[in-house]
Amino acid sequence: MTTSRRLADRKSAKFQKNITKRGSVPETTVKKGNDYPVGPILLGFFIFVVIGSSLFQIIRTATSGGMA
């Protein structure tokens, strides 16, 4: 067997091994951990603003007699 034939066989075997692995996705990219897209401080601020503005609107409506 010549050197070029052995080299070609080695490259072919490596290529065939890669073909069988194609399409398999590692576990780390499939599953996400408990990572939230927003931080807890930003989430707390958003809830504070929403609940605070709704409470302010309820108080303002109650003091004006229901006519806005």
String of b and e for 28-56 (b: at least 16 CB within 10 Å)? eeeeeeeeeeeeeeeeeeeeeeeeeeeee
Per residue in 4-30, pLDDT tens?
888 899 888 888 877 766 666 666 655
34-55: average pLDDT: 89
Q: Contact at 8 Å (CB) between 48 and 55?
A: no
What region, left, alpha or beta, does residue 32 occupy, with left being phi > 0 and alpha being psi -120 to 50 degrees? beta
CA distance 19 to 13: 10
